Structure 1
Amino acid sequence: MKNLSIVVLLLSVIIWGCDKSATTSTSGKQVAGRIVYVNTDTLLNQYDYYKDVVKSSENKRFRLETDISNKAKNFQNKVTFFQQKVQQGGMTQEQGQTAQAQLQQEEQAIMAFRDKSAQDLAKEDAKKTEDILNNIQAYLKEFNAGDKFDMVIGYSKGGGVLYAKEDLDITKSVLEGLNKKYADDKKSGKVKVAADSTKK
């Protein structure tokens, strides 16, 4: 799922930050706010919504490829039949030209269907990518309702963050919260990705 891999890149940068970048002490001096991080590799590997979106996209792509393959085979059979009829002299010149024009139209229709379906899937993937990021950011704002943190950054191996103390890792808590919210949304009918992902 190529488009959804964008999620990894986006989450590797800053996931979310408060409007303020520092807190003020009682003396009036600015002190650095606490920055925590989420391991984006772990988050995407274990976020149920992301996994269901990927499954759904893969299943849709598989069904599309199968559909196009069947259309192509059926078209090739018609071409073969047409060629045999021409070789056997079973068509007049006018009939042959008409049949050939119909085959060309069918071939163009198959190609147009393939291109449009691929574009539709790409748009859907982009929309799901946006939904995933919005869900994560919205949850992080809820998670930080007590104003504990000033910034949450995304950490991934090979990313921009080279080192971070383990006690700043809030991945487990965030992941548990996201999965619980997704499970609740599925029960209430707010999301139906899981149902799509089980179809073949």
Structure 2
Amino acid sequence: MKNASLVLNVVLAIAVAVLYYLHFKDRPAEIQPVAAPAEAKGKEIVYVNVDSLLTKYDYFKDTQKVLESKRFQLENDLATKGRNLQNKVAFFQQRAQTMTMEQGRATEASLQKEQQDLLAYRERAAQNLAVEEQKKNQELYDQIYDYLKKVNAQNKYEFVLGYTKGGGILFADPSADATKKILDGLNKEYQAKQQPKK
């Protein structure tokens, strides 16, 4: 009896499966209409020509003048100190025959120390100038970044790229060039900071 019940259940399951197949096999699958995707809005990307920015931004030009002046003063100072040392060496060489051995050694040691001091001074001055230049470059970057951040509150640019010929960007569409607009704003802001406060 149990076997008959089991066989009957198997036959009924097969019959249901066949009926299910026959019923749905000829029906075309219902095609769900696909909703058209909403128009994707691209991210706003502009670029700034870095070469133009550096050559036309008044802050950068003023900073370069100051640094160039300091370099020139340092070179003149080093040249003057170097000539003084050369004159002392030449004077020592002329008077070396009239000096005692101890005086000669003492003068020679003094001149060597002066030469080492001059080299150390040149090294320190060059490092100080490099640190100042690095600080000015950081200030330049901060000013540009702060300005772009402030202006971007209105424009909502996703990216502002820095373009230089031969750089990482191979092509830049001129319609995305925001250099003049950003440069004008930066110069206007810089000039306002330079005017004496009343």
Q: Normalization by structure 2: what TM-score?
A: 0.76
Identity percentage over the alignment?
47
Which whole-Å CA distance do the structure 2 matches of 1:74 and 1:97 have between them? Answer: 20
| Unpaired stretches in structure 2, ≥5 consecutive residues | 1-36
The one-letter amino acid paired with 1:67 is: D
C-alpha distance after superposition, 1:60-110 (max 9, x if no partner): 1111011001101001111111111113xx211111111111111111111
Does 2:136 match 1:166? Answer: no
2:21 match: none
Following superposition, the deviation at residue 148 of structure 1 comes to 2.7
User: Cα RMSD over matched residues?
Assistant: 1.8
Following superposition, the deviation at residue 144 of structure 1 comes to 1.1
C-alpha distance after superposition, 1:122-141 (max 9, x if no partner): 11111111111111011001
- Residue pairs, 1:23-62, within 5 angstroms: 31-62=41-72
Which whole-Å CA distance do the structure 2 matches of 1:122 and 1:105 have between them? Answer: 25
Larger radius of gyration: 2
1:101 match: 109
Does 2:185 match 1:177? Answer: yes
Which whole-Å CA distance do the structure 2 matches of 1:175 and 1:110 have between them? Answer: 43
Does 2:163 match 1:152? Answer: no
The one-letter amino acid paired with 1:153 is: L
Which whole-Å CA distance do the structure 1 matches of 2:107 and 2:48 have between them? Answer: 61
Equivalent pairs counted in the alignment come to 161
Q: Normalization by structure 1: what TM-score?
A: 0.75
- Residue pairs, 1:65-76, within 5 angstroms: 65-76=75-86
1:18 match: none
The one-letter amino acid paired with 1:116 is: R
Query: By percentage of residues, which structure has more strand?
Result: 1
| Unpaired stretches in structure 1, ≥5 consecutive residues | 1-26, 190-200
